[in-house]
């Protein structure tokens, strides 16, 4: 069951896990899990210049995804034991005539392939469509990340095509597959 609670105290309850914006008290767990999962996450992410991940990296992330009316929103995924399992960001949120956002996400290795991210992305898309009234949500995946492609397909994202040199991953501009989902609620 999905329940979304308020804009002031954003909290998405997915039953056996919750999504909520990060706060300063998440620093220690976020830094630890990102460092522990470095080898698993690093091939797919753009910023690992500062490995090991530090408190400053967390402060940068926290500032970027928690600015009121900013261009990004972050959600951390916690199980019922309050263990951090991963995160989802809605980046480049554009309102007005575009009404769109780009979705980025990661899961700790020990929580991967359990359907958690599939359900979490579904919940964040529902939030984006119902609450933010977005028209389109996109996600860009490196071609070798088959698991992420499957997660998007299970959430009824449509493959649009290849985008040349979309993001810089480990110092190289990489081609990405573009997937999108349209809001069928409006």
pLDDT tens digits, one per residue of 107-116: 999 999 999 9
Per residue in 15-72, pLDDT tens? 999 999 999 999 999 999 999 998 898 888 876 566 667 888 898 889 888 887 778 9
**Upper half-sphere CA count for residue 173 (Cβ side, 13 Å):** 4
Helix axes 27-36, 55-66, angle to 10 degrees: 110
Q: Which long-range contacts (CB under 8 A, 24 or more apart) does 90-93 make?
A: 90/124, 90/128, 90/137, 93/132, 93/134
Rounded to the nearest 5 degrees, what angle is found at the Cα of 181, between the Cα atoms of 33 and 175? 65
Let me know: does 60 contact 30? Beta carbons within 8 Å: no
Buried b / exposed e over 159-169, threshold 16 CB at 10 Å, is: eeeeeeebbeb
Per residue in 121-150, pLDDT tens? 999 999 999 999 999 999 999 999 999 999
Fold (topology level) of 3-182: Aminopeptidase (3.40.630)
Would you say residue 1 has pLDDT above 60? no
**Where are the domains positioned within the chain?**
3-182
Look-up: residue for tokens 């830094």? 31
């Amino acid at each position: 069951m999905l329940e979304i609670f308020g804009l002031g105290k954003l909290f998405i309850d997915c039953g056996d896990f919750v999504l909520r914006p990060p706060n300063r008290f998440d620093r220690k767990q976020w830094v630890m899990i990102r460092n522990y999962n470095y080898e698993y996450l690093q091939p797919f992410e753009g910023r690992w210049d500062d490995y090991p991940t530090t408190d400053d990296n967390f402060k940068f992330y926290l500032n970027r995804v928690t600015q009121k009316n900013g261009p990004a929103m972050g959600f951390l995924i916690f199980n019922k034991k309050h263990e951090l399992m991963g995160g989802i960001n809605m980046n480049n949120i554009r309102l007005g005539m575009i009404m769109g956002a780009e979705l980025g996400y990661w899961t700790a290795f020990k929580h991967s392939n359990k359907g958690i991210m599939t359900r979490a992305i579904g919940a964040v898309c529902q939030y984006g469509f119902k609450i933010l009234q977005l028209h389109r949500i996109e996600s860009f995946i490196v071609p070798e990340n088959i698991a992420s492609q499957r997660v998007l397909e299970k959430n009824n994202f449509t493959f649009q095509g290849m985008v040349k040199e979309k993001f810089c991953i480990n110092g190289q501009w990489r081609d990405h597959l573009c997937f999108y989902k349209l809001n069928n609620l409006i």
